[in-house]
Amino acid sequence: MNIQVRIKEIRTEFDSEFSACLSLEDFNNLQRKYLSRKGIVASLFKEIPKLSADEKRSAGKHLNVLRKSVEEKISEAIQSFQKKKKIDLSMDVSLPGTPEIYGNKHILSQVMDEINSIFNEIGFSVETGPEVETDFNNFSSLNFPENHPARDMQDTFFITKDVLLRTHTSSVQIRVMMDKEPPLRFISPGRVYRNEAINARSHCMFHQVEGLYVDKNVTFAELKGTVEYFCKRFFGKDVALRFRPSFFPFTEPSAEVDISCFLCGGSGCRVCKHTGWLEILGCGMVDPNVFKSVGFDPEKITGFAFGMGVERPAMLKYGITDIRMFWENDIRFLHQF
């Protein structure tokens, strides 16, 4: 058949099909049928090489006209379809959005990350150690003598007589000091274990962040500066701090640090047991016996250490009333933070 005639027929066919199109999908199908690589228009172009020179020219011209008009008509239709959809006033934009599911970082991770980053700002790196520890790293080298009441301060889970679940991350201090030379400045976050009944206020496992700074002339005044910096960055610059003497076997002098209760502003409430103060952190100057146990000369080296729980400040800061909630993983809890 004459190619010109076929072009005309196809044109008519297209027009009728075009007028029958109702949906966007119909137009897309039509576009594929006529304009795709294997479509009707393309197949006509493939026949051009078989024609005589004269026919080639005119057929090429007509085919191009056909292609252009088909392209224009379809794309116009598709566009107007899309436009129509956009300005469809019947669309109720108050309908709820499609829910996007985001996962949430556990609040304890968030708090630990925050603590880590505050100490990173003032030059503390991060060190970690095992949770199953030797008695030496957890107690003896930290100046807890055997048969000393100081050991009663931390109820311990034992694996054997000499191996236990670490009761604090201070054991990491020993590992690092055994391994490296001063100056040392790091924090050690991690899980610790105490053989205590599980209830709303205590759990047999919790998290701690301990810090150590060891160098030639580290002073108690610097310890105060560091702890103050942390507390004000973490709890807000308006909190007041109170250092009071205390006792830890591995530090001397030792201090407990209280911050002014940010819930009642210091006037006394149930949370601060009407004292106006919240106990937040223990700290002190590294005891010379600890330096001796890792082979440092306490006459040459001084240092400070501090340690705090993670759950307690998190509970205070976010009003969490039951420590078990951290471990239950109720998604209503996880999604709140």
Partner 1 sequence: MKIYLPWLKDYIRFDDSPGELADKLTLLGTETDYHLAQKTFFSDLRVAKVISSKKHPNADRLTLCKVQTKDGEFAVVCGAPNVRDGMKSVFAPIGTQLTPKFKIEKRKVRGEISEGMLVAEDEIGLSDDHSGIIELGENVALTKDVTEIIAENATIETDVTPNRPDCLSYFGMARETAILNNTNFSKPDTKYPETGAPIGSEIKVKIENPDDCPRYACRIVENVTIAPSPKWLQNYLVKSGIRSINNVVDLSNFVLLETGQPLHTFDLDLIKSGEIHIRRAKNGEKFLALDEKEYELTADNLMICDGDLPVAIGGVMGGEKSGVSKNTTKILIESAYFAPGIIRKSSKILGLASESSKRFERGVDPEGVIYALERLAQLLVQHAGGTARSGRIDEYPNPIVPNPIEFRISRANRIIGVDFTMEQIHEYFRKLEFTVEKVSDDMMVVKPPTFRPDLEREIDLIEEVVRLYGMQNVESDLTVNFHVQFRTSEENSIVDSVKQRMFGAGFDETYTVSMDRETADLRTFVRGSSVPISNPLSSDLSHMRQSILPGLLRAISFNLRRQHSDIRFFEIGTLFESDKKSETLAREYQAFAGAITGNYLMEHWSIEQPIPMSLFHLKGVLSGLSAFQNNSFQMLSATPDEYWQAKMEIRHGDETVGIFGILRAELLESYDIDQQVFAFEMNFDQFKKSAVDVRRLKHISNFPLINRDFSLVCDRSIPVGNMLNLFKSLKFSCEYRVEFVKYFEGGSVPDGKASRSFRFYFRGIGKNLTDAEIDGFMRKILAVAEKDFQVVLR
Minimum distance of partner 1 from residue 331's CB (angstroms): 5
Sole binder of Zn ion in the list 66, 165, 272, 283 (CB under 5 A): 272
Integer Cα distance of 34 and 40 in angstroms: 5
Residues 56-95 within binding reach of partner 1 (CB under 8 A) = 95
Q: What is the DSSP string of 267-327?
A: S--TTTTTTTEEEEEEEEEEPHHHHHHTT--TTT-EEEEEEEESHHHHHHHHT---TTHHH
Beta partners for residue 193, in sequence order: 205
By CB under 8 A, tell whether 139 contacts partner 1. no
By CB under 8 A, tell whether 198 contacts partner 1. yes
Sole binder of partner 1 in the list 6, 114, 131, 262 (CB under 8 A): 131
Name the one range near partner 1 by CB under 8 A: 6-14, 78-86, 259-267, 320-328.
Answer: 320-328
Select 14 or 326, whichever has its Cβ closest to partner 1.
326
Select 60 or 268, whichever has its Cβ closest to Zn ion.
268
Question: Count of residues binding partner 1 (CB under 8 A)?
Answer: 83
By CB under 8 A, tell whether 152 contacts partner 1. yes
Minimum distance of partner 1 from residue 31's CB (angstroms): 17
By CB under 5 A, tell whether 261 contacts Zn ion. yes
Sole binder of partner 1 in the list 59, 285, 294, 308 (CB under 8 A): 285
Integer Cα distance of 257 and 211 in angstroms: 14
Q: What is the DSSP string of 85-127?
A: HHT-TT--TTSPPPPP------HHHHHHHHHHHHHHHTT-EE-
Select 182 or 276, whichever has its Cβ closest to Zn ion.
276
Minimum distance of partner 1 from residue 236's CB (angstroms): 17
Q: How far is CA 181 from CA 45, 174, 216, 265, in A?
A: 81, 12, 11, 43
By CB under 5 A, tell whether 269 contacts Zn ion. yes
Q: In this structure, are residues 183 and 123 in contact, taking their beta carbons and an 8 Å threshold?
A: no
Q: What are phi and psi of 9, to 5 degrees?
A: -60, -45
Give the interface with Zn ion as residue ranges (CB under 5 A). 261, 263-264, 269, 272
